[in-house]
Amino acid sequence: MPDSLQLASPSPLTTLTEDEILFRDNVRQFADDKIRPLSKEMDEKGMFDHALIDQFFQLGLMGIEIPEEYGGAGGKFFEAILAVEELSRVDASAGVVVDVQNTLVANALLRWGNDDQKKRYLPKMAADTVGAYALSEAGSGSDAFALQTKAEMKGDEFILNGRKLWITNGKEAEIFVLFATVDASKGYKGITAFLIEKRFPGFTVGKKEDKLGIRASSTCELILEDCRVPRENVLGEVGKGYKIAIETLNEGRIGIGAQMLGVARGAWECAVKYAQERKQFGKTISEFQGIQFQIAQMATDIEAARLMVYNAARLKDGGVDFVKEAAMAKLFASQVAERVTSLAIEIYGGYGFTKDYPVEKYWRDSKIGKIYEGTSNMQLATIAKMIFGK
């Protein structure tokens, strides 16, 4: 199969610069050579190969937007999106490890961190330290600001108590952007963001969830029992955590769109290849118009998703408002991923329903796209709000 099956001729939104093409191709080659051979085993074991994370750092994939002065690549948000797409084309768990590091944790530090915080943490994140983003709790999913984790100021420290759930990269992370309330009576205006190190007293990583998809990616509970956090580790301002959470997740949604785009592409490429190999009634099934139409519709959906994801990323890099476009990109790309991966299984027939072939994993990995970093209903609510101004 060619390195990249072409879905359509380049459009203004999908046209890449020479540097972007080189970067994309390097990530694609790495994913095919190093990640693909390990994907099935990592999925079965529910564990990500740490040697791959080391290689992510060596390639600069964990600090794409971090400025060179802090040891990062000094790249653009769009390059992070390309990386997430290409990694997810092979393994969605790999895509989300890089996604959370770049679009959530590093982005939050770059935008809201003070000079001291940037000097302390950005070089580590560029070199060898995984980050995680801890907002969700048992009672606060879509209603993110119903969180119950409390932060009480005592002397030069905040004392945090509570539990966080469904935290991606929880097992591997050493740095956490974590949200707690300093005053529950103030509602969302009491929410504060903290930079928490794994070594802080009173901080524990709890159980790792056993999931349907993206199984190699760790999704963990975090436990805070009188966790002591220095005052200087408040990210942004006390009481302004809600603003950090909202604005960072807007960027993160483009990353999830890229992840789902990659998942759909991976499944589609498998389906095209299989259709050209599988014979029934004396000819390959790719010669039947019914299969051709399915493949064509999948390709069209993927191209539309790509346009939306790339457009949102370009808008972000251009300093133009992108909130609606980010919500649309995540909403549509997750729908496309679920639809395309399901059709890929059907094209494989009975084989697609077994774990001997990769398409069932793509389908399982696609489901999370409609759930995390804002469910599809929350994306629709955001889009409607942007349309009607309410």
Residues 6+ apart with CB under 8 A from 171: 205, 208, 218, 220
Name residue, tokens 């794409």: 64
Nearest to 252 by CA among 55, 46, 61, 106: 106
**CA triple 160-131-171, angle to 5 deg:** 80
Residue 70 DSSP SS3? helix
CA-to-CA dists, residue 152 to 164, 241, 263, angstroms: 17, 15, 42
Residues 329, 335: Cα–Cα separation, whole Å? 10
373 is an active site residue = yes
CA-to-CA dists, residue 183 to 148, 157, 165, angstroms: 10, 16, 21
Catalytic residue, chosen from 137, 172, 360, 373, is 373
Residues 243, 193: Cα–Cα separation, whole Å? 10
As annotated, the active-site residues are: 373
